[in-house]
Amino acid sequence: MSITVALFDLDDTLLAHRAAVDSGIRNYRRVLGSAFADGPTDFTESVRWTALEEFHYHRYLSGEVNFEGQRQARARGFVEPYGVTLTDTEATRWFDTYFESYRAAWRLHDDALACLDTLHARSPAVRIGIITNGEPEFQTAKITAVDLADRVNHVVASGAFGHTKPDPRIFHHACELFGVDPADAIYVGDRLTTDALGAANAGLTGVWLDRERSATTAQLDEARGAGVTVIQSLDELEAILD
């Protein structure tokens, strides 16, 4: 395998996004007042907040709402069961305050830096890039906060490029930035369809990072049929390149 470029998803591949979300919403509930703090368990509310994120963020990716609109919708959806109604301004303020708790919890997954170090140390070194669905300012802030900026050659954010994963154009654009054919690039992400299959369909080597070991038989068959490799840790990535 003549892989010279390794491209990664950001959230829940390199950055421990889900853990930061859980921490952020738990900590935020504690400052919202007794009505919120005395409600359902932290686990229940973290699950509900995650579901709101998934639903409204995909509305944003499909163009149904803008980036700020999906944030406001998530805030409104979270407080609605508590009998609270938020205006646009209040919803923005609510989300911005939550975001401070979320941002304070940004961390890399434990295997991220070791993986990147290993790729840099190969001879010849493998160049590193990130393809992420999101707004460039928001995603760049994460990359900078966890000290990834100096380790990454190029970052492609869908909000700037105009197309989202799994559209092959965003994968091809990243390869063009590096000056390589898709066949010479590998892409690693935590979502089978959006990341791994999207990359494979664009001609890259697709790798599905299934940290939770949640893959079903049908998903494994689909991955295998598309030539996608499934791993449970970034520690396994180098073996794919040998």
Give the CA count within 13 Å in the CB-facing half-sphere of 188. 29
Q: What CATH number should be reported for the domain holding residue 132?
A: 3.40.50.1000
What's the total number of domains in the chain? 2
Do you know the residue count of the chain? 242
| Residues 97, 182 within the same domain | no
Q: Which of 31-40, 78-87, 182-191 has the highest mean pLDDT?
A: 182-191
Instruction: With a cut of 80, say whether residue 153 has pLDDT above it.
Output: yes
Quick one: pLDDT at residue 37?
66
Residue 22 structural domain: 17-104
pTM of the model: 0.91
The helix (run of H) or strand (run of E) holding residue 75 is helix 67-79
| Residues 58, 144 within the same domain | no
| Residues 145, 223 within the same domain | yes
pLDDT in tens, 23-41: 999 888 888 876 676 666 7
Residues of the chain by 3-state class (helix, strand, coil), percent to 5: 55, 10, 30
Q: Which residues contact 27 (CB under 8 A, 6 or more apart)?
A: 101, 104, 105
| Residues 165, 45 within the same domain | no
Distance CA 150, CA 128 (A): 10
